[in-house]
Amino acid sequence: MIASGPTVQNTDDPSLAMSIIEKYKLHNQLPESVIQILTDTSVEDKNESFSHVTNFIIGNNKTALNAAAKIAEDLDYDSFILTNKLTGIASNTGRNLILLITAALQNEFELFNDIYVQLDLHSHLKDTLFNYLNNFRNQNKKLCLLLGGETTVTVYGSGVGGRNQELALAAALEMHKNKPDNNITLLSAGTDGIDGPTCAAGAIATISQIEEAKSKGLDPTSFLNNNDSYTFFSQLNERWLVKIGHTGTNVMDVIIILIS
């Protein structure tokens, strides 16, 4: 069942809802009955209401990442699952992921370490990943980095897009800025098949996209600032949009980064 966990007990602080109401000054716009429920501080054993419920998790983001890692390894990629709890601003995350990779490839450990901490990735993989990428040029290998979770977008513009497409566009801009020697391809997509108010699940970013966009008279930075990532990829080339339709399930987002 995909319905925001109706069989899972809500353990949020009861005062949280009212703090949001007060923040946006909506107190006078709500019925008295709603206010009464939200301010009810009576103590009761709510565990009793869920005593007959048993929840079985048959699929989650970690399951999706493990499946993707298996496919990558079947295609001769070495794979690293860096986190299944990715958060943060989408555009910042897209930029930081590319900076993380290029810092390691260029033997800049301090920068790599700072970004690794910012992204809150699995700490036990940090040194292993840095050393792997730092020696990458001397190895005839292919690498697949996998991340899961959900980022957010602060909307300032009037464009059309979603967090995954925005993350991909920011990553493409950072690739263009840093110009790494290695081939890097990033895909960011929602497992439900829908990213924002668009028909795409996400988008793919490559180093060549920004030059291609400029040759077509497109200004990628303006599209990003206007939260208009869907329009950007549509005008650049629709093949960069991930369109798979509704999948019927939702285990958050998946980011796949291929390096060769």
The pLDDT tens digits of the residues spanning 91-123 come to 999 999 999 999 999 999 999 999 999 999 999
**Token digits of residue 187:** 């895909």
Q: Quote the tokens at residue 78.
A: 């070495």
Are 254 and 61 in contact by the 8 Å Cβ rule? The answer is yes
* H/E stretch holding 143: strand 143-149
The total of other beta-carbon atoms located within 10 Å of residue 12's CB is 7
On whether the CB atoms of residues 94 and 169 are closer than 8 A, the answer is: yes
Structure tokens at 61: 């983001």
**Which pLDDT score, from 0 to 100, does residue 96 have?**
98
Tens digits of residue pLDDT in 125-169:
999 999 999 888 778 889 999 999 999 999 999 999 999 999 999
The pTM of the full predicted model, rounded to 2 decimals, is: 0.86
Q: Please tell me the distance from the alpha carbon of residue 53 to that of residue 8, in angstroms, as a whole number.
A: 8
Instruction: Check whether 1 has a pLDDT greater than 60.
Output: no
The predicted model gives 53-74 an average pLDDT of 95
Nearest to 207 by CA among 234, 185, 231: 185
**Average pLDDT score, the chain:** 93
Q: What tokens appear for 53 in the block?
A: 């419920």
- 59 Cβ neighbours under 8 A, 6+ residues apart: 249, 251
